[in-house]
Chains A and B, each alone.
Chain A
Amino acid sequence: MCGILAVLGCSDDSQAKRVRVLELSRRLKHRGPDWSGLYHHGDFYLAHQRLAIVDPASGDQPLFNEDRKIVVTVNGEIYNHEQLRRHLPNHKFRTGTNCEVIAHLYEEYGEEFVDMLDGMFSFVLLDTRNNHFIASRDAVGITSLYIGWGLDGSVWISSELKGLNDDCEHFETFPPGHLYSSKEGALRRWYNPTWFSEAIPSTPYDPLVLRRAFENSVIKRLMTDVPFGVLLSGGLDSSLVASITARHLAGTKAAKLWGTQLHSFCVGLKGSPDLKAAKEVADYLGTVHHEFYFTVQDGIDAIEDVIYHIETYDVTTIRASTPMFLMSRKIKSLGVKMVMSGEGSDEVFGGYLYFHKAPNKEEFHRETCRKIKALHQYDCLRANKATSAWGLEARVPFLDKEFINVAMSIDPEWKLIKPEEGRIEKWVLRKAFDDEENPYLPKHILYRQKEQFSDGVGYSWIDGLKAHAEQHVTDKMMLNATHIYPHNTPTTKEAYYYRMIFERFFPQNPARMTVPGGPSVACSTAKAIEWDASWSNNLDPSGRAALGVHLSAYDQKLPSAGNLGPNIIDVVPRIVSVPGVAIRS
């Protein structure tokens, strides 16, 4: 990843302003430790902090078209840049970087080129001929981006909140799949796939089509000039990513430079379920596997830093970000700059446990659509910022535009969880990679039931966080929570604890508005809570919270409505459930 910051039309071209922009850009240095650049034209500033993944030698930014009239600062990867270059035969390229096409595409197609880009990106482009500018963010919001407005009439664009929150009167999350054009002075959505309307699709499920789409999406992400690896938790999604990567690594340019053996990484408390599961997969695939351990104390000590980097007070996101943040530091210290990760599969296929209770295929499908649209506030934000904190780039093949199109056009009847027919969560994905002759994964891994990320690192992680918050947030503090935090009021001590830290770093009102809130049960949207009347009484953000769908939950009656979240967690027995089997029985 890189870090971008643009200040556009600030009516101030003094040295003091330049120094200020440089200073703000440095707040994004963790995203791009390799080099920085600042382009300054009148009262327009485009700053860049670079993580060099493709063309480390010459790709320093900002980037330009031939006559340097068009300047662009980009955070991202354009996987189809070589094809796009071929569409631009009369253009001369200065660098080997994949992002340079953006400047040339703009020359050729004006503002209408964004949908031609295949990849993850956030960029700001300035046309110095008329001081017109555009900013845009990728379809799903894999890369982070914020937009703000200054009292002096300036427009600000930044990869992270911390790049603009102190200098803007108002700011918000830049909506994914959108384009801001200074001509219109407004945002418009450029991403218009069929699934976006939430109409129920009817294409019958074809396992091979799905398999091919996903393989393609992994292969195009092997484009790199630096060492890379795979985040492997041992769950279905990361295991599939690892399996396909290992299979296709040999033919890539990366393999010629860095060897054909794949590196895989896993983090956990010592003895955690993830470590065990990932080791098993790594052994099967023959990857060079790296295990990292952290203690609950290590995690708690990192919380402030995590919240500063992740820029959220969402409880599940912070819980899951912390191990990922710690692991990223270790990965980076090994010299690895890029990792592939499994985010997005649960949203696309309805992998969360609460999907068991989807009343019908229509509800199921619409919930997956809502989940994908919200990804940029949850798992995309986590995956991007937890890794970028240490100059590590995360690529997410499940969020490939093409792959989403294929996966979201399947008749959702196929995605419904039907224990009686042996279909557990994400069955369509599992089935697609169930190849007897040339197995991607052993059957028991392929059909293993989901372990939520924060649980998988070790059950005592979440308990440790709660115990810590319990110690430092008093009942009295909780009593006043609604007055102190009227917006998205924290309802648990843990949430209150995170919120205090967030407010210290980002005290402005718009900052707290960038974080989603509302009722949720085990990562559901507010809408899906209607699926089960008992849920609204048991709102807890954890995936381990009993939903009445996990083996252990069947064994034990749900506590009465009066019980609060922590109790629910505590009554669940600490066993790694045997997936699938339980639901069938």
Chain B
Amino acid sequence: MCGILAVFGCVDNSQAKRSRIIELSRRLRHRGPDWSGLHCYQDCYLAHQRLAIVDPASGDQPLYNENKTVVVTVNGEIYNHKDLRQKLTSHEFRTGSDCEVIAHLYEDYGEEFVDMLDGMFSFVLLDTRDKSFIAARDAIGITPLYMGWGLDGSVWFASEMKALSDDCERFMSFPPGHIYSSKQGGLRRWYNPPWFSEHIPSTPYDPLVVREAFEKAVVKRLMTDVPFGVLLSGGLDSSLVAAVASRHLAESEAACQWGSQLHTFCIGLKGSPDLKAAREVADYLGTRHHEFYFTVQEGIDALEEVIYHIETYDVTTIRASTPMFLMSRKIKSLGVKMVISGEGSDEIFGGYLYFHKAPNKEEFHEETCRKIKALHLYDCLRANKSTSAWGVEARVPFLDKGFINIAMSIDPEWKMIRRDIGRIEKWVLRNAFDDDQNPYLPKHILYRQKEQFSDGVGYSWIDGLKDHANLHVTDAMLSHAGFIYPENTPTTKEAYYYRTIFEKFFPKNSARSTVPGGPSVACSTAKAVEWDAAWSKNLDPSGRAALGVHASAYEEAAEANNASVINGPPQKQRGGVVEKTATVA
């Protein structure tokens, strides 16, 4: 990843302003530790902090067209840049960077080229010929982007909120799949796939089509000039990514430089379920596996830093980001700059446990659409910012545009969870990689039931967080929460604790509005809470919270009152979860 910051029309083009922009751009340096650049044209500034993944030697940014009249600062990877270059035969390229195509595409196609890009990106482009500019963000919002407005009439764009929150009167998340054009003076959506309307698709499920689409998505993400690896939690999604990546690594360019053995990484409290599951998959695939351990204390000590980097007060996101944040530091210290990760699968295939209760295929499908549209506020934000905090880039093949189109055109009847015919969550994905002749994964892993990420790192992680918050947030504090935080009022001590940290770093109204809120049960949208009348009384963000769908939850139904939900199930039951999970498969 890289970090971008752009300011247009700020009236002031003094040295003091230049220094200020440099200072603000430095707040994004963790995203791009390798080099920085600043292009200043009259009252327009384009700043860049670079993480060099493709063409480390010459790809420093900002990038230009041939006569330097078009300037662009980009955070991202354009996987089809070679194909696009071939379409631009009359253009001369200065660097080997995959992002340079953007300047040239703009010359040929004007503002209408964004959908031609296959990849993840946020960019700002300045056309100095008429001083117009555009900014755009990838389809799903894999890369973060914020937009703001200054009192002096300036427009700001930044990869992270921290670079513009102090200097803008108002700011917001830049909506994914959108483009802002100074000529047209507004935002418009460039991403218009068929699934976006939430109509119910009817294409019958073809396992081989799904498999091929996903393999392609992984293979195109092997484009790199630096060492890389796979985040492997041992769950279905990351295991599939690792299996496909290790299968295709040998034929990739990266293998010629860095060897054909795949590196995999896993983090957990000592003895955690993820560590065990990942080790098993790594052994099966023969990867060079790295295990990292953290203690609850280390996680708690990192919370402030995590919230500063992730820029949210969403409880599940913070819980899950912390181990990922710690792991990214370790990964980076090994010299690895890029990792492939499994985010997005649960949204596309309805992998969360609450999908068990989807009343019908229509509701099921609409919920997956809503989940994908919200990804940029949750898992995309987590995956991008917790890795970028240490200059590691995360690539997410499940969020490939082509793959999403295929997966979201399947008749949702196939995605429905039906125990009666042996279909657990994400069955369409599991079945697509169920190859008896040349197995991607052993059957028991392929059909293993979901362990939510924050649980998988070790059950005492979330309990430790709650205990810590209980120690430092008093009942009196929580009882005033509605007055102190009228918007998205924290309802638990843990949420209150995170919120106070967030407000310390980002005290403005605009900042708290960038974070989603509303009722949710185990990662559901507010809409899906309606699926079960009992849920609205038991709102808890944890995946472990009883939904009445996990084997263990059925047994403990009687205890499902607020207190036990917050404190988590008793120790004995936790062992049960693991065992029972296995029997489900």
Contact = CB atoms under 8 A, between A and B. Distances in A.
Contact of A335 (B304, B329, B335): B335
A52 B305 CA distance: 21
Given A329-B33, A329-B35, A305 B333 contact: no
B23 A333 contact: no
A15 B304 contact: no
Interface of B: 15, 18-19, 22-23, 26, 33-35, 38, 52, 56, 227, 301, 304-305, 329-330, 332-335, 390, 471-472
Given A304-B22, A333-B35, A472-B15, 11 more contacts: A19-B304, A33-B333, A34-B329, A304-B23, A305-B26, A329-B35, A333-B33, A334-B56, A335-B227, A335-B335, A471-B15
Given A304-B19, A304-B22, A333-B52, A15 B472 contact: yes
A172 B33 CA distance: 31
B257 to A, nearest CB: 12
22 contacts: A15-B471, A18-B301, A33-B329, A33-B332, A33-B333, A33-B390, A34-B329, A35-B330, A38-B301, A56-B334, A301-B18, A301-B22, A304-B22, A305-B22, A332-B33, A333-B34, A333-B35, A333-B56, A335-B227, A335-B335, A390-B33, A472-B15
Interface string A57-71: 000000000000000
A390 B332 CA distance: 13
B500 to A, nearest CB: 11
A388 to B, nearest CB: 14
Which 3 A-B residue pairs are closest in the complex by CB-CB distance? Answer: A333-B34, A34-B333, A335-B335
Nearest to B391: A33
A330 interface: yes
Interface of A: 15, 18-19, 22-23, 26, 33-35, 38, 52, 56, 227, 301, 304-305, 329-330, 332-335, 390, 471-472
A330 B35 contact: yes
A35 B329 contact: yes
B15 A22 contact: no
Contacts of B56: 333-334
B386 to A, nearest CB: 15
Contact of A23 (B22, B38, B304, B390): B304
Contacts of A330: 34-35
B288 to A, nearest CB: 13
- What is the interface of chain B mostly: helix, strand, loop, or mixed? helix
Contacts of B38: 301
A191 B23 CA distance: 41
B255 to A, nearest CB: 18
Contacts of A335: 227, 335
A305 B24 CA distance: 12
A80 to B, nearest CB: 26
Contacts of B15: 471-472
Contacts of B305: 22, 26
Contacts of A19: 304
Contacts of A305: 22, 26
Contacts of A35: 329-330, 333
A227 B301 CA distance: 31
B333 A22 contact: no
B221 to A, nearest CB: 21
A254 to B, nearest CB: 15
Contacts of B304: 19, 22-23
A502 to B, nearest CB: 14
Contacts of B330: 34-35
A453 B578 CA distance: 63
A415 B271 CA distance: 64
A54 B518 CA distance: 49
Nearest to B50: A333
Nearest to B329: A35
Contacts of B22: 301, 304-305
A56 B329 CA distance: 13
Contacts of A22: 301, 304-305
Contacts of B227: 335
B372 to A, nearest CB: 34
A411 B472 CA distance: 67
B228 to A, nearest CB: 13
Given A15-B472, A22-B304, A329 B34 contact: yes
Nearest to A14: B472
A18 B472 CA distance: 13
Contacts of A23: 304
Contacts of B471: 15
A386 to B, nearest CB: 15
A503 B485 CA distance: 38
A365 B328 CA distance: 52
Nearest to A330: B35
A304 B330 CA distance: 29
Nearest to A468: B15
Contacts of A304: 19, 22-23
Contacts of A471: 15
Nearest to A290: B57
Nearest to B26: A305
Nearest to B14: A472
Contacts of A301: 18, 22, 38
Contacts of B390: 33
Contacts of B333: 33-35, 52, 56
